[in-house]
Amino acid sequence: MAHAAVVSRVYGMMAEFDSPEALIKAAQQTRLEGYRRFDCYTPFPIHGLTDAMGVREAKVPWTVFICGLIGAMFGFGLQVYTSTIDYPLNVGGRDLISWPYFIPITFECMVLFTAFGAFIGMLAYNGLPAPYHPVFNVPQFARSSVDRFFLCIEARDPKFDPERTRAFLQSLNPISISEVEE
């Protein structure tokens, strides 16, 4: 009986650091070296890390703004439709489209759509929910939520070469270097 050969695919190379300063310095060096597909994992937010990584401006604010506009247009449009087409009712001799009375519902729909846009946009842009990620295969990564800082260069980076990437990570003076399997 033939057994299937187990082929492990490499997700990337991960370096472990013991301080936020070392991680920021490593992220800057990684970016300067030309790597673009890398990520940093920390137990708490570190001021300046996103700048060191060269992360582009977030997309969530624009998503929230657009969802707010859509919500306001939906709320206003719904009231115009119900007041003029679905259930026209002339109260007190006012116009069917008396927009000052539509403001509260328009505002509430804008807030509702904005909240949903922020929540769903944050999940989508962060790739959540993610119950599994290849970095979970590295035993030392369990300390990423306690007191260790990690930098992982992905294998799909155009500049990634196992030997050169390992040598580069070694030049950053990490505590350890691990190969991350898919």
How is the chain split into domains, by residue range?
10-55+130-181, 60-125
User: Angle at the Cα of 31 (from 25 to 37), degrees rounded to 5?
Assistant: 120
Asked whether the whole model's pTM tops 0.85, one would answer no
Share of the chain above pLDDT 70, in %: 96
How far is residue 106's CA from residue 100's CA, in Å, rounded to a whole number?
10
What is the pLDDT, as a whole number, of residue 7? 57
The pair of three-digit structure tokens given for residue 80, joined into one six-digit string: 């115009």
The pair of three-digit structure tokens given for residue 22, joined into one six-digit string: 């070392």
What is the pLDDT, as a whole number, of residue 156? 95
Which of 57, 42, 64, 2 lies closest to 143 in space, CA to CA?
42
- Tell me: the pLDDT tens digits for 48-103? 999 999 998 889 999 999 999 999 999 999 999 999 999 898 888 888 898 999 99
Predicted confidence band at 2 (pLDDT cuts at 50, 70, 90)? Answer: low
The answer as to CATH 1.10.287 being correct for domain 10-55+130-181 is: no
H runs (alpha helix) in the chain: 20-33, 49-53, 60-81, 103-125, 162-171
> Buried (b) or exposed (e) across 21-59, using 16+ Cβ within 10 A?
ebbbebbbbbbeeebeebbbbbeeebeebeebbeeeeee
Predicted confidence band at 167 (pLDDT cuts at 50, 70, 90)? Answer: very high
